[in-house]
Amino acid sequence: MPKRTPDDAPDGAPGSVRIDKWLWAARFFKTRSLAQEAIERGRVLVAGERVKLARPVRIGDEIHLRSGEVERTVRVLALSDIRGPAEAAQALYRESGESIARRAQQREARRLCLEPAATIEGGRPTKRDRRRLGRVRAL
């Protein structure tokens, strides 16, 4: 049986790939299971709408995805359902300028924000210190 290449049409549908496979191939998620979970939880939007796992992605689609604290808005430039090297994955999409700026702003805010445990000196926190941390995190 011949080996598939990224140019092969998936599932007999030319010009489309399942969104979970595309997100995995574009390296937004480490496994397809994680991509599927994000889709089911509504963290992936295509054209501003929630999607199902088998929804086909087409060139030109705008995808908004949230993974942890990171939010991205990307436009699909190419299709693939085969995971390749990072350089090939980055060629599949283009991130919007405002998305890049928003991520840089979030990164800077995280860098400037002090970790609550950073103020504790002397090693392992005591029970009293843990209670204080719990109160701070509850806010």
- The pLDDT tens digits for 36-89 are 999 999 999 999 999 999 999 999 999 999 988 889 999 999 999 999 999 999
Cα gap 91→82, rounded to integer Å: 13
Domains within the chain, CATH numbers bracketed: 10-138 (3.10.290.10)
Q: pLDDT tens for residues 1-36?
A: 445 554 454 444 457 899 999 999 999 999 999 999
- Computed on alpha carbons and rounded to an integer, the radius of gyration of the chain in Å comes to 20
Q: What span, in angstroms and rounded, lies between the C-alpha atoms of 129 and 86?
A: 43
